[in-house]
Amino acid sequence: MDTFIFIPAYNVENELPSLLSRIPEEIWDRASVSLINDGSKDDTLNKAMEFKEKTNKKLEVFSFSENQGYGAVIKKGLSLALETDASFICCLHGDAQYPPEKLPAFLEAMKKNSIDVLQGSRHVEKGGAKRGGMPFYKRCGGFFLTSIENLVFSTKLTDRHSGFLCFSRRFLKEIPWSRLGHSFDIDLELLAFADARRYKVEERAIETRYAGEKSNLNVITYGFRVLRIVFRKMMGLYS
């Protein structure tokens, strides 16, 4: 298997069955797929097991007995990936906010163009985020923070806050894992390392899907954590 897909899942009993069923057949054929249940209090774990039993798909299911937080789940997924021989590793959120149908094209782009980090962007297509239901304050906040990050990191990405990320094995093997936090901003830190160390980072358009999801993040706290990463980059801590 040349690809490893991992799915962070927390209280997504309603969205998970649809997400799993939408993963293209060619991905099931070429990839190892693992779901990491982060101590969900609803029926997420049972939904994953039901899908596995009904479809006979090769879905590995891991479960934390208690909620560990997004950062811990990402670290778990990436550590599992590095235990395999996979050349490409993708994170697909269990809430179905990001389209699994894009995975084949993402992986083909990474292979063809030697990309180390490929991010799905909800802002490549003008007006797409609004049409997809992204709240106004998130669109404005994301634009503001991304503009600052692009200035500091000398990049031109349109959506540095999308969690739809694919990585090359080469990049992940060079990450100093002990220096990464356990919080929700781990994606931003991974991008910071990639930018600071001049890995090839690109983005591709994805459609936006917001259907009344309730975020577990405090907007102000998130903004300050982003600025903290920007400051750390300016201090050379990701170089």
Give me the pLDDT at residue 215, please.
58
Does residue 217 carry a pLDDT above 70?
no
Mean pLDDT over all residues of the chain? 92
Task: Determine the longest span between alpha carbons in the chain, in angstroms.
Answer: 52
CATH 3.90.550.10 for domain 3-234: yes
- Span of 26-40, 88-102, 174-188 with lowest mean pLDDT: 174-188
* pLDDT, average across residues 9-34: 97
Instruction: Enter the tokens of residue 209.
Output: 């899907």
Task: Give the number of residues written for the chain.
Answer: 239
Tell whether the model's pLDDT for residue 182 goes beyond 80: no
pLDDT grade for 211, boundaries at 50, 70 and 90 = low
DSSP run (H or E) holding 203: strand 201-205
Looking at residues 212-225, what average pLDDT do you find? 72
pLDDT band at 62 (very low <50, low <70, confident <90, very high): very high
What pLDDT score was predicted for residue 208?
Answer: 82
- In this predicted structure, the answer to whether residue 237 has a pLDDT above a threshold of 90 is no
Residue 179: what pLDDT? 81
Q: pLDDT at residue 214 above 90?
A: no
Q: Which helix (H) or strand (E) holds 148?
A: helix 136-153
Residue 128 has pLDDT above 90, yes or no: no
Contacts of 76 (CB under 8 A, 6+ apart): 6, 36, 62, 68
Query: How far, in Å, CA of 120 to CA of 186, rounded?
Result: 16
Query: Global pTM?
Result: 0.92
pLDDT at 212 over 70: no
Q: If you average pLDDT over residues 191-205, what whole number do you get?
A: 95
Structural tokens at position 67: 């909620």
| Span 195-219, average pLDDT | 81
pLDDT at residue 213 tops 80:
no
Confidence of residue 3 (pLDDT cuts 50, 70, 90): very high
Instruction: Tokens for 185, please give them.
Output: 């901003």
At 126, the pLDDT band (50, 70, 90 cuts) reads: confident
Q: CA-CA distance, 210 to 129, in Å (whole number)? A: 9
How is 89-149 classified by DSSP, letter by letter? EEE--TTS-S-GGGHHHHHHHHHHHT-SEEEEESSSSTTHHHHTT--HHHHHHHHHHHHHH
Residue in 42, 86, 41 with CA at minimum distance from that of residue 60? 86
Task: Give me the pLDDT at residue 141, please.
Answer: 87
CB 36 within 8 A of CB 62: yes
